[in-house]
Amino acid sequence: MMRGGEKAIGDLCVIAWVIGLLLILLWIHFSNRKIGRITKTPTIVFPGHKFTVNESHEGVRFLCGYTEHNKKKKWNEAELTEKLESLLKMVGYSFVYKDARVIMIKMNGFLYGKECHDFVPEGGAAPGSHFTYQMYGYNRIQATNYVVDGVSYLAGFCIYIQCWRMLKSTYRRDFIHKIMRAARLENGDHLEHVRERSLVGNSPTTDWNVKHCESLRRDVMTTTSNKTVFHKEWNNMLSTMTIHECAGCDGSDQPPAYTSLFME
């Protein structure tokens, strides 16, 4: 009887193991095909990690180094490298650093920013503009979009390599196809957005202090006049100091709405 009981327990353990394995495989299958919602806050895949910045002759930027996941033998490095190179070829590039953790690809009209997900419009962001972010797969590819006048433009995207033992199937070509179908800035579009919103008028002149704006996600000269918050900053495209009203500093969860713009 004991042997029969032990066999039954053994069979149950095998069944439980198979069910657990199937659940894990199903989770991997669906999570790697998931397209996340559009957010105003980027996903930080490698918080606190310090990587070496490299830029290829093609203009692609890489954050390189090793995380705890990368210290073991990289048994499928060749296959994963081949897959990543194929993704880059879809947007006109090919070279991949062997110890890359993040691959950053900017679109025309944008510059690389401070963080890997930052893609800054040449000459600075237009008044009233903001950025949105969307993750593809389980922290595999994140797109950054630049939104101005209600139109969303692709600014750039990042490919994250959490470890070189990742299966190449987790990096999907159809994600790149979807990302690259987004609208992109044409030559002169951005300057026109800035000029169209440029109005001359009286501006606050006193009590300027450096404060952090959550909407702009940076420190900026700030003052308050008649219960309205204003920011002052240099605009490279207009070659002048601009002062704009910021609705985002009143605690609203809305993107910064600039209802007026002054030039000094």
Q: Angle at CA 218, nearest 5°, toward 191 and 249?
A: 90
Average pLDDT on 110-115 reads 92
Per-residue model confidence (pLDDT) at position 143: 96
H-run or E-run covering 213: strand 209-213
Q: What is the pLDDT of residues 72-112, one digit of tens each?
A: 545 567 788 888 899 999 999 988 888 889 999 999 889 99
Mean pLDDT of 223-242: 71
d(CA 86, CA 168) in angstroms, rounded, equals 11
DSSP H stretches of helix in 41-157: 77-89
Pick from 97, 129, 95, 128: which is nearest to 110 by CA?
Answer: 129
pLDDT for 178-204, tens place per residue? 999 888 876 555 555 554 554 434 556
Is pLDDT of 121 > 90? no
**Within 13 Å, how many C-alpha atoms sit on residue 164's CB side?**
22
**180's tokens:** 């690259």
Phi and psi, residue 16, nearest 5°: -65, -40
Compute CA distances 246 → 87, 91, 233, whole Å: 39, 36, 12
> For residue 246, is pLDDT > 80?
no
pLDDT at 263: 42
Confidence (pLDDT) at 205: 66
Among 33-42, 161-170, 221-230, the least confident range: 161-170
Examine the pLDDT at 139 and tell me if it is beyond 80.
yes
pLDDT of residue 187: 59
Could you tell me what percent of the chain has a pLDDT over 90?
A: 22
The model's confidence at residue 226, banded by pLDDT at 50, 70 and 90, is: confident
Contact 154, 183 (CB under 8 A): yes
Q: For 157, phi and psi rounded to 5 degrees?
A: -150, 160
pLDDT exceeds cutoff 90 at 138: no
At 160 the pLDDT is 93
Which one is predicted more confidently, 63 or 198? 63
Confidence at 225, pLDDT banded by 50, 70, 90: confident
